[in-house]
Chains A and B, each alone.
Chain A
């Protein structure tokens, strides 16, 4: 079973609208949770990184939340733009000291005009 589950697998939204992506994980204990944006055919780029003691972190129009009790995280995109079309990957750091990471399969977002 995958340690990091993301939903929805894909979604289409209208330009200017908001959307929320979900990430549930079973990894415990973990040191941090990250969200990456990956454009098609490119490498992932970091959006946010949160330790288990943080509840929310923003990066421009991207806001990530974390509930360590329920092992859930979300990424909210505000006022979507065409350039937001990408895969958004939730990543959990597995353990202390060696930076091993567990990756979700990604949320594929398509923004249409």
Chain B
């Protein structure tokens, strides 16, 4: 069935290592987003992409990188430059980059822990 899938659900990383979080959607959505959620805080935008082969920095892009080679995939790499990477990461997608009242659908999240 259709949806947005994040993997893995839990991820452990040693300090100094890069790690890539997967996000795949089969909803044929144009726009995809990565958010970070920390306890007691609202979601914060890391990167977003409104079309294949194009993406924009969000509010907290430092230490992260993304790619959008395919419409259905938007992987997020947490690099060693990210000083506080332990968090819950959420991927989302929405149908039409040109319309404002479209719904955003979220994946189930990946909890990254740096050990």
In the complex, A32→B42 CA distance in Å? 18
Count of A-B contacts with CB under 8 A?
59
**Does B101 lie within 8 Å of A31, measured CB to CB?**
yes
Closest residue of chain B to A5 (Cβ to Cβ) is: B42
The tally of residues in A whose CB lies under 8 Å from a CB in B reads 27
In the complex, A64→B88 CA distance in Å? 27
In the complex, A36→B100 CA distance in Å? 17
Q: With A31-B100, A43-B109 as given contacts, are A98 and B50 in contact (CB-CB < 8 Å)? A: yes
Say yes or no: is A1 at the interface (Cβ < 8 Å to chain B): no
Which of chain A's residues 41-59 have a Cβ closer than 8 Å to chain B? 41-46, 49, 51
**Does B100 lie within 8 Å of A2, measured CB to CB?**
no
Q: Which residues of A contact B (CB under 8 A)?
A: 2, 4, 31-32, 34, 36, 41-46, 49, 51, 89, 93, 96-106
Q: 18 interchain pairs (CB within 8 A)?
A: A2-B42, A31-B100, A34-B104, A41-B88, A43-B106, A43-B107, A43-B109, A93-B100, A99-B31, A99-B50, A99-B97, A99-B100, A99-B102, A99-B104, A100-B45, A101-B104, A103-B42, A105-B42
Q: Which residues of B contact A (CB under 8 A)?
A: 6, 31, 35, 40-45, 50, 88, 90, 92, 94, 97-98, 100-109, 111
